[in-house]
């Protein structure tokens, strides 16, 4: 009986593995949205960041022109840079272009989506709905996985670090 249960558990694990590996990936037009996530916020926090990878598998450039979430009063595209040891954050006007065959990585310390005027606390283990709007592909609803405060991001099993076959660039 133990052998049967172990074999059944192994079969279920193998059968469900492809589902969990892609559970946080989305597609709109020629764009793949991979590993969307955010960090939990303390009670009363006014803002949070959203991070993800956009892969353009098409033959035309597209531009992330906006985003929206019911948990935020407003959502903006931002970039963060360091200048003489001082962190500077500014809104990206005109959006983030993703060239054909290219990848845009929105990550802490670079380009990201800023959730502002938070209406509720972002809690570890939950998800946060986010709608991304692209100039050509249109809009797509995604869910951000919530990591603990200060987390570097979710484990991506080799994705998101340049090892998935695409160059990684930030576009301003």
Could you read off the pLDDT of 83-122 as tens digits, one per residue?
888 888 999 999 999 999 999 999 999 999 999 999 999 9
- The beta-carbon contacts of 158-164 under 8 Å, at least 24 apart in sequence, are 159/34, 159/35, 159/53, 160/34, 160/35, 160/53, 160/105, 164/34
**CATH number, position 138:** 2.60.40.1890
Number of domains forming the structure of the chain: 1
CB distance 69 to 139 below 8 Å: no
Q: Is residue 4 part of a domain?
A: no
- Render pLDDT for 37-62 as a digit per residue (tens, 0 to 9): 999 999 999 999 999 999 999 999 99
Domain housing 85: 24-147
The distance from CA 80 to its chain's CA centroid, rounded to whole angstroms, is: 16
Q: Is residue 2 part of a domain?
A: no
**What is the per-residue pLDDT across 154-170, written as a single tens digit (0 to 9) for each?**
665 444 433 333 333 33
Minimal CA–CA distance to 35: which of 112, 163, 142, 169? Answer: 142
> Whole-prediction pTM value?
0.77
């Amino acid at each position: 009986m133990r052998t049967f249960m172990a074999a059944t558990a192994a079969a279920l694990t193998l059968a469900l593995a492809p589902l969990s590996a892609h559970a946080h990936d989305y597609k709109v037009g020629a764009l793949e949205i991979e590993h969307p996530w955010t960090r939990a916020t303390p009670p009363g926090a006014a803002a949070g960041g959203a991070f993800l990878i956009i892969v353009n598998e098409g033959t035309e450039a597209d531009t992330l022109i906006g985003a929206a979430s019911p948990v935020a009063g407003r959502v903006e595209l931002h970039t963060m840079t360091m200048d003489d040891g001082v962190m500077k954050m500014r809104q990206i006007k005109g959006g983030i272009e993703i060239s054909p065959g290219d990848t845009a990585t929105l990550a802490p310390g670079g380009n990201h989506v800023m959730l502002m005027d938070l209406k509720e606390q972002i809690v570890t283990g939950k998800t946060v709905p986010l709608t991304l709007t692209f100039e050509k592909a249109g809009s797509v609803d995604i869910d951000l996985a919530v990591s603990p405060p200060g987390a570097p991001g979710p484990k991506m099993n080799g994705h998101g670090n340049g090892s998935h076959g695409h160059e990684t660039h930030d576009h301003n």
